[in-house]
Structure 1
Amino acid sequence: MSPLFLLVLLGTAVAVNCETHKLTYIYTALSKPVDLPGIHEFTAMGLLNDRMIDYFDSSNQEKVPKQDWMKDRLPKDYWEKGTQSRKSKQQWFKVNIDILMKRMNQSQDDVHVLQWLHGCEGEPQDDGSLKFVRGVDMYNYDGDDFLSFDDKNQVWVAHIPAAEHTKRKWDSMPVLKQYTKGYLEKECMDWLSKFVTYSQKQLRDAKKPDVFVYTTPSKKPDNLVLRCMATGFYPKDIVLQIKRNGRVLEPADGLETTGVCPNEDETFQRRDWVEILKSDQSDYTCQVFHEASGFYIEESWDRTIDRNETPDDSSTVVLVGAVGWIVVLVGLIAVLLGVLRKRGILTPPCGGKEGTDSAASIPLGSVGQPLNVSAGVPKTEIPDGTDGAPVSDPLLSGECYHDNRNTVQDPPAAEV
């Protein structure tokens, strides 16, 4: 089993001088909504070198940039067209997940997961260009590899018996195979080259944070204020979490935050804090992940108290921090874990219950392994796919959409 949920993003930091560059996209659809915060019926995200660059979900219905350079360098119509494309792809997934459930005689009462991954990998050349190394286009259903495209031989590969029907159908559509190959080797590579160029400055300028965990007096004599501060980092995207005995604290636990604030030297800082009893013997840690610089640490509180700060000095202005992309991923992980537990494949760890934050406590960098479907499929990759491909009609005959002026192209979709 190689669930795409767990395959990417959290465990890999990208160096500026990496040997290859990868542009990948992942789409995840659930057979029905689930009543869990932060988990959506449909999500789509683009990644450059395993770093999220754009995002869409069924609740917000808008494709948005997740890197400053994406927002600065791409025009408004890129995002408008991308939004329409992903809305269309959402409908395609809705139709086809229903087809697969009927084909496999599955109950409508259960939650099922269909995912699509596609993208390309390129190697830098002496003249500054990127040479195509490999492409990937594959589907995953309920955590199992379902169907993938063999780019070299231009055939679809069925990984389970239920995919044989789709393989035969798609192999009989030459235009679909030709377009998929062309997308992976040409269009995807063109966008990869463009995005790598756009992102280079941000990658070069990344700075790691300094992290401090300490306590200060509280206005309440029996309490302390436990604080975690990360400062001096660039760019501003960062994940900071305070844990009590391994459980991530949330606003409902009294957690407060300044959010990300600028420093005078053009770097950034963030401080989170929570009031605790002086008598509390719990183990408290601060977990910080700064993706751009490849920095990760989980620092423990050594139970010392900084008495130089006045009570609640940093609590006067509180901004409840926005939940970053990492929480979206944690939510997706929670859904998949729930599916697997329901089938008896996994049991909740340490007595945890479904719907709790047990998934949120998974350490960064420990989530999942690279996809291993067949030889030639790049590791840690997940394709984007939909910007520009007409998918509202599931019975596509292989017609291709070629307006690639300001939006990433995807292989055309056909009914499974």
Structure 2
Amino acid sequence: MQLFLALCFLLGIPSGAPDIHSLKYFFTAASNVPNFPEFVNVGLVDEVEIAHYDSNTRRKVPKQDWMNKVTDDDPEYWKRSTERNMGRQQIFKANIEIVKERFNQTGGVHILQLVYGCEWDDETDEVNGFHQFGYDGEDFISLDLKTQTWIPLVPQAVISKEQWDKNKAWLDQQKHYLTQECPEWLKKFLEFGRSSLMRKDLPSVSLLQKTPSSPLTCHATGFYPDRADLFWKKDEEELHEDVVKGEMLPNHDGSFQMSVDLDLSGLKDEDWGRYSCVFHLAGGQEVSKRLDKRDIRTNWGNGGGRGTDGGFPTGAAAGGVVAALLLLTGCIIGLIVWFKKRPQGFRATNTSETSSSSGEDPAMKKGSSEEQSMLKPLHEGRVQRGSSH
């Protein structure tokens, strides 16, 4: 269970506004994890996987057709990125052993992770940068770009803070990359994938119930983007009591699904028409489904008293199964990673600074000091610059 939680905490940078876009890079090193690569690197734009490398395939590859456009200006992009990840693979492998020593661990299953990237608000031009390590599903150390210092989140990370804070050149480079270069790459990728990333799709909405005494589930599937909400209303007021929201999950086609349960135990027959399930997509589009016994699909067999033929709609059921499988698959490929959603676990910087893109991923042409010394003391005189895509 600890391993599953370490792998499956979703990275959740708060972004309630519909015009905020993100570029995130995840690095995962695994120790003694059966059937899991020792090292995985995944890139996401607006939560859509754009690139993937793992120690089994030993290749960095595009995960969206439109990402091939990056080679129009740089034919060696994927080859160079592959070579850089081969080097990172060895460094992460060494660093997970160092962290195990700090926790006095000699064996067992362990996960070391790094996430960094940026968010950009295309209305205000505000930028947030983030760079953080986690270990076994818990926050480890985080970069505060406002003060340009590292914040240890467990005692075992203090030694890293003490060493990394001394490297002012690296800290300056990190701030420049996360607040200027990263947003330029994000804008470039958004332009590459505009037709798919900027689309807005409304879902199909179904009412489902497992047994006569089960809560009623409102299930929405097939929507995009993931900046959406699903809730129950009574008359025109949103309900908060007797309601349980489920997690948002990915579908196999890149769209999303989510559900919200309503406890029917105290509901009077004459009040059914006052309830409705509402899906709200960022930007204002909505789908509303009024509560009607005739529309409820069940799985307690023919003659259950509700629904059409006593079975869940095939599409919705299949979608749920597919989503569950994709969630597990996402863990296996390292796409879904740790992140603790709590104030002290995430440090961001706010700035309106922008810069013109150099036309080349800086990480492809410059090394990164976190590659040299992620969790080890910094090597004097061996500071390399650049964060990598």
User: TM-score normalised to the size of structure 1?
Assistant: 0.54
* Aligned partner (choices 348, 351, 372) of residue 377 of structure 1: 348
Assess if the C-alpha contact under 8 Å between 2:190 and 2:197 holds in 1: no
The alignment status of 1:57 with 2:54, answered yes or no, reads yes
Task: Please name the residue that 2:217 is paired with.
Answer: none
Task: Please name the residue that 1:23 is paired with.
Answer: 23
- Amino acid in the other structure paired with 1:27: F
Assess if the C-alpha contact under 8 Å between 1:206 and 1:233 holds in 2: no
Assess if the C-alpha contact under 8 Å between 1:23 and 1:119 holds in 2: yes
Alpha-carbon distance, 1:329 to partner: 2.1
SS at 2:10 equivalent: coil
Assess if the C-alpha contact under 8 Å between 1:148 and 1:156 holds in 2: yes
Task: Please name the residue that 2:7 is paired with.
Answer: 5
Distance in 2 of aligned mates of 1:72 and 1:385: 17
Distance in 1 of aligned mates of 2:49 and 2:86: 19
Alpha-carbon distance, 1:292 to partner: 4.1
Task: Please name the residue that 1:139 is paired with.
Answer: 133
Assess if the C-alpha contact under 8 Å between 2:6 and 2:111 holds in 1: no
Distance in 1 of aligned mates of 2:191 and 2:174: 24
Q: Given the superposition, is the C-alpha separation of residues 65 and 296 from structure 1 closer, same or farther in structure 2, using an over 3 Å criterion?
A: farther
Distance in 1 of aligned mates of 2:127 and 2:199: 27
Distance in 1 of aligned mates of 2:205 and 2:34: 35
SS at 1:131 equivalent: coil
* Aligned partner (choices 390, 394, 400) of residue 367 of structure 2: 390
Q: Given the superposition, is the C-alpha separation of residues 234 and 162 from structure 1 closer, same or farther in structure 2, using an over 3 Å criterion?
A: closer
Distance in 1 of aligned mates of 2:102 and 2:141: 15
User: After superposition, where does 1:70-219 map in structure 2 within 5 Å?
Assistant: 70-75=67-72, 76-107=75-106, 109-125=107-123, 131-205=125-199, 207=201
| Count of aligned pairs | 274
Distance in 2 of aligned mates of 1:53 and 1:324: 20
Query: Going by fraction, where is helix more abundant, 1 or 2?
Result: 2
Assess if the C-alpha contact under 8 Å between 1:288 and 1:297 holds in 2: no
Assess if the C-alpha contact under 8 Å between 2:153 and 2:345 holds in 1: no
Q: Given the superposition, is the C-alpha separation of residues 143 and 297 from structure 1 closer, same or farther in structure 2, using an over 3 Å criterion?
A: closer
Assess if the C-alpha contact under 8 Å between 2:139 and 2:339 holds in 1: no
Task: Please name the residue that 2:228 is paired with.
Answer: none
SS at 2:175 equivalent: helix
The alignment status of 1:68 with 2:30, answered yes or no, reads no
User: TM-score normalised to the size of structure 2?
Assistant: 0.58
By relative contact order (CA 8 Å, sep 6+), the higher-ranking structure is 1
SS at 2:125 equivalent: strand
Unmatched 5+ residue regions in structure 1?
A: 213-231, 236-286, 305-320, 337-366, 379-383, 402-408, 412-416
Alpha-carbon distance, 1:234 to partner: 10
Distance in 2 of aligned mates of 1:148 and 1:87: 25
User: After superposition, where does 1:34-49 map in structure 2 within 5 Å?
Assistant: 34-36=33-35, 39-49=36-46
- Amino acid in the other structure paired with 1:93: F
